[in-house]
Amino acid sequence: MTVSQIKKMTTAVQIVAGPVKIRPVEVGENLCVMPHVAPAPAPTSSRAVLAQTSCAYQVAVVKIGGTAINNIDVLDALIDDAIALSRAGVKVVVVHGGGISVNEALRAVGKETVKVAGLRVTDADTLAIAVDVFTAINEQLAAKFKEKGACAIGFSPATTSPFISKKMELEGTGDLGFVGEIVAVDAAQIESWMWAGWIPIVSPIGAAGRQLYNINADHAALALACQLQADGLYFMTDVPGVLQDVDDKDSRIGHLTSDAAEALIADGTISGGMLPKIRSCLGALKNGIGRIAILDGFACEALVAGYLAPSENGTLITGEH
């Protein structure tokens, strides 16, 4: 057999990632295995990144709205996120809403929901229903956290309210009934449990002595975050953040400074239901909150992703650049 015939017949098997490949080999060639090419790494989850991040002594107030509370899967994911933050060293405090559930409870007894300037007109019967609904939500949230192995404690009308309130009176709105305006926050008990590693869960009900008041959950979260001098306040909503165009969900604004937000309010870009939220946020920034983020609570790992990179996962609002 000639050398040329041998060259045509000689083959070598090379083991590489994937299927076996066979190629001709030249006589005298130095045979070696092709270098292994590692597959592209799988995307790293936000929770995995968080586990490698030092978050000790950071305080985060998280406001979970009624839309998320009424969606079992979304709520379950947000609770998992809050627990992940807590286990990473973040001191987490949850303020919950529940307006949708209050609407349903009122409808069940034949009462109409009436709102003025975004606030629920609250007569004595409506207040009683709201107190019952918020107490139930608070107890259910605390139970869900505990089922997942977290230490959680509820602050509701059934226990104690940190929000010292008075009857709200707004010019041009008429009598709002038992709608409260927060005048002070007694967060001593919340702080004690928080620094002990527990997750306080707080209802948006205020009190003045024995009189209870229905208060806006956004206002409650902002007031509590200010009192705690929180490093961050995170609103878990059903929108991607502040939008340049309300009809285009891809027009999310990643970062707003106070000045930029004021300009968007002046030109009408920020309006409707987002307007009072942003105005309240701007006021809170002046009272020491480090940053405020408006996040889509329905996104994957929404809270952890928003905590790690708020401007990439929602709208970050800060006092400065």
Q: For residue range 44-83, what is the model confidence (pLDDT) as tens digits? A: 588 777 776 767 789 999 999 999 999 999 999 999 999 9
pLDDT attached to residue 44: 59
In the chain, which residue ranges form alpha helices assigned H by DSSP? Answer: 3-9, 46-51, 66-69, 72-87, 99-108, 124-147, 188-195, 217-228, 258-266, 274-285, 302-308, 310-313
pLDDT attached to residue 310: 94
Q: Is residue 69 part of a domain?
A: yes
Residue 80: strand, helix, or coil: helix
Q: Is residue 250 part of a domain?
A: yes
| C-alpha triplet 255, 277, 76: angle, nearest 5° | 85
| Number of neighbouring beta carbons within 10 Å of residue 276 | 15
Within a 13 Å sphere around the CA of 293, how many CA atoms are in the beta-carbon half? 27
Q: Determine the structural domain holding residue 90 and report its residue range.
A: 59-318
Confidence at 38, pLDDT banded by 50, 70, 90 = very low
Q: For residue range 144-198, what is the model confidence (pLDDT) as tens digits? A: 999 999 999 999 988 889 999 999 988 777 889 999 999 999 999 999 999 999 9
User: Could you give the number of structural domains in the chain?
Assistant: 1
Q: What are phi and psi of 86, to 5 degrees?
A: -60, -45
Distance CA 309, CA 282 (A): 20
Confidence at 17, pLDDT banded by 50, 70, 90 = very low
pLDDT attached to residue 54: 66
Token digits of residue 120:
């629920």
Of 114-118, 121-125, 202-206, 301-305, the range with the lowest mean pLDDT is: 114-118
pLDDT attached to residue 171: 79
Of these ranges, 1-5, 116-120, 150-154, the one predicted with the greatest mean pLDDT is: 150-154
Instruction: Kindly state the helix (H) or strand (E) to which residue 308 belongs, with its residue range.
Output: helix 302-308
Q: What are phi and psi of 9, to 5 degrees?
A: -90, -25
The answer to whether 279 and 264 are in contact (CB under 8 A) is no
Within a 13 Å sphere around the CA of 142, how many CA atoms are in the beta-carbon half? 17
Q: Is residue 2 part of a domain?
A: no
Asked whether the predicted pLDDT for residue 4 surpasses 60, the reply is no
User: What Å distances lie between residue 137 and 7, 82, 95, 301, CA to CA?
Assistant: 79, 17, 11, 22
The answer to whether 163 and 116 are in contact (CB under 8 A) is no
Q: Is residue 66 part of a domain?
A: yes
Q: Is residue 232 part of a domain?
A: yes
Distance CA 133, CA 101 (A): 7
Q: Is residue 136 part of a domain?
A: yes
Q: Is residue 53 part of a domain?
A: no
Q: What's the chain's Rg over C-alpha atoms?
A: 27
Q: Is residue 153 part of a domain?
A: yes
Percentage of residues in the chain having pLDDT higher than 90: 66
CATH code for position 181: 3.40.1160.10
The answer to whether 180 and 213 are in contact (CB under 8 A) is yes
Asked whether the predicted pLDDT for residue 275 surpasses 90, the reply is no
| C-alpha triplet 291, 296, 301: angle, nearest 5° | 90
Q: Is the pTM value of this prediction over 0.85?
A: no
Percentage of residues in the chain having pLDDT higher than 70: 85
